[in-house]
Amino acid sequence: MMRRLLSVLHARNLEFLRDRGTLVFTLLLPVMLVIGMGFVFGGPERGLFKVGLLGDASDPLAHPFLSERYVEFIGLPQQGEALRKLTHQQIDLLLELRPPERYWVNTDSPKGYIVEKLLLAAEPAASREPVTGAAVRYVDWLFPGILGMNMMFSCLFGVGYVVLRYRKSGFLKRLHATPLSAFEFLSAQVLSRLTLILFITGVLYAGIGAVIGFHSAGSVLLLAPVAVAGALSMIALGLTIAARFSSEEVVGGLLNVLTWPMMLLSGIWFSLEGSPRWVQWVAHLFPLTHVLDSARAVMLDGAGLAQIAPHLLYLTATALAFLAFGAWSFRWRID
């Protein structure tokens, strides 16, 4: 069994490396995206203030400051998480609506200084609680999203279309005449794609990181299990689509149905902070959301293994479930 699996794995690796166009595109796409996002989102900070609220903010008249213009108010139920955002200057001020009325402001934040003046003009008696902390640049927050997006496309389309091409060309039909089982064939495809994705992601992490100089508070080694578990989950998800269908239109449509919601809801480009709860719930069904949440927790907050363990367990469970379903529903022939 192991010899057959390794033979298919070796053949798939050689096939990918000989496809120069795909290899160059996979390497250059995330670099070009980072450069493009630098032009789009570069320049001075936008003039919108964000204020976190502890307490019931359903009634805008409950506090005079809630009617202030040019301020976005975000409900944050947990004080610890809210203070973490304030420390990283993801919000400009934190206001507690429950008595005794008090607020927290980051003394290192220029925007926090201005919002504090607005608050004191509306409510001079509010009690001040200062915190400190440097801002997290947008590129620091975006960097894991770029790597995750590249991983998503490589996992889903790289595996899905390869298996589809094998089926349409009759290659799977010939393999079916050998002792190779569906599980062995799919495992070889998973390991091949996993090896290539981890190598490319590592190169991009080191290369782009050397150019940008991004912030990383946690252990770089802890990002390895995140990348492995996330890639396995998304590769197996792509195999569930390609395991059964033989139409390029159907496979392409289904893969796009998966990738576009993940691009919009997994937090690649922007945070879902303040979005409806049902949107956040749907987002956490996607493997990419757990990859980005755990990677950002390590890189931006210095989280340890215990903090990201739920994300790793979810990714591992979905990888096993998708792979089992793909092996069960796999079809060697078109007809």
Report yes or no on 28 lying in a domain. yes
The domain of 222 spans 2-40+137-329
The tally of CA atoms less than 13 A away on the side-chain side of residue 141 is 15
Q: Can you tell me the distance from the alpha carbon of 16 to that of 193, in angstroms, rounded to the nearest whole number?
A: 9
Q: Can you tell me the distance from the alpha carbon of 60 to that of 72, in angstroms, rounded to the nearest whole number?
A: 12
| Cα 164 to the center of its chain, rounded Å | 27
So what's the pLDDT on residue 315? Answer: 94
Q: Per the structure, how many domains does the chain have?
A: 2
pLDDT (tens digit, 9 = 90+) per residue, 126-184? 888 888 655 566 677 788 888 888 888 888 887 777 777 787 777 888 888 888 887 78
| Backbone φ, ψ for residue 322 (5° rounding) | -65, -40
User: Which stretches of the chain are DSSP H helices?
Assistant: 2-18, 20-41, 79-87, 110-122, 138-169, 171-176, 182-212, 223-242, 248-265, 277-283, 287-301, 305-329
Report yes or no on 175 lying in a domain. yes
Pair 73, 117 in one domain: yes
So what's the pLDDT on residue 61? Answer: 56
Name the nearest CA neighbour of 334 among 255, 252, 250, 238: 250
Pair 113, 191 in one domain: no
Report yes or no on 189 lying in a domain. yes
**What b/e string do you get for 10-35 counting C-beta neighbours within 10 Å, with b at 16 or more?**
eebbeebeeeeeeeeebeebbeebbe
So what's the pLDDT on residue 60? Answer: 55
Residue 68 buriedness (CB in 10 A; 0-12 / 13-18 / 19+): middle
Q: In the listed set 88, 110, 131, which residue is the last one of a domain according to the structure?
A: 131
Between the alpha carbon of residue 312 and those of residues 290, 307, 329, the distances in Å are 8, 10, 26
Report yes or no: 155 and 235 within 8 Å, Cβ to Cβ. yes
CATH no. for residue 87?
3.40.190
Pair 166, 287 in one domain: yes
Structure tokens at 62: 């409950």
Report yes or no on 335 lying in a domain. no
Report yes or no: 297 and 308 within 8 Å, Cβ to Cβ. yes
Report yes or no on 173 lying in a domain. yes
Residue 217 buriedness (CB in 10 A; 0-12 / 13-18 / 19+): middle
Pair 251, 324 in one domain: yes
Pair 111, 142 in one domain: no
Pair 94, 210 in one domain: no
> Taking the chain, what is the end-to-end CA distance rounded to the nearest angstrom?
27
Report yes or no on 33 lying in a domain. yes
Looking only at the bridges linking them, the beta strands covering 49-54 and 71-75 are: parallel
The continuous run of DSSP H or E covering 57 comes out as: none
The continuous run of DSSP H or E covering 47 comes out as: none
Pair 240, 179 in one domain: yes
Pair 75, 151 in one domain: no
Per-run averaged pLDDT (10 residues), the chain, 335 residues = 79 72 61 56 57 71 74 81 78 81 83 86 84 67 86 83 78 81 80 87 82 74 91 88 71 77 81 72 90 89 87 93 82 67
Pair 250, 106 in one domain: no
Pair 185, 239 in one domain: yes
Pair 250, 111 in one domain: no
Pair 71, 180 in one domain: no
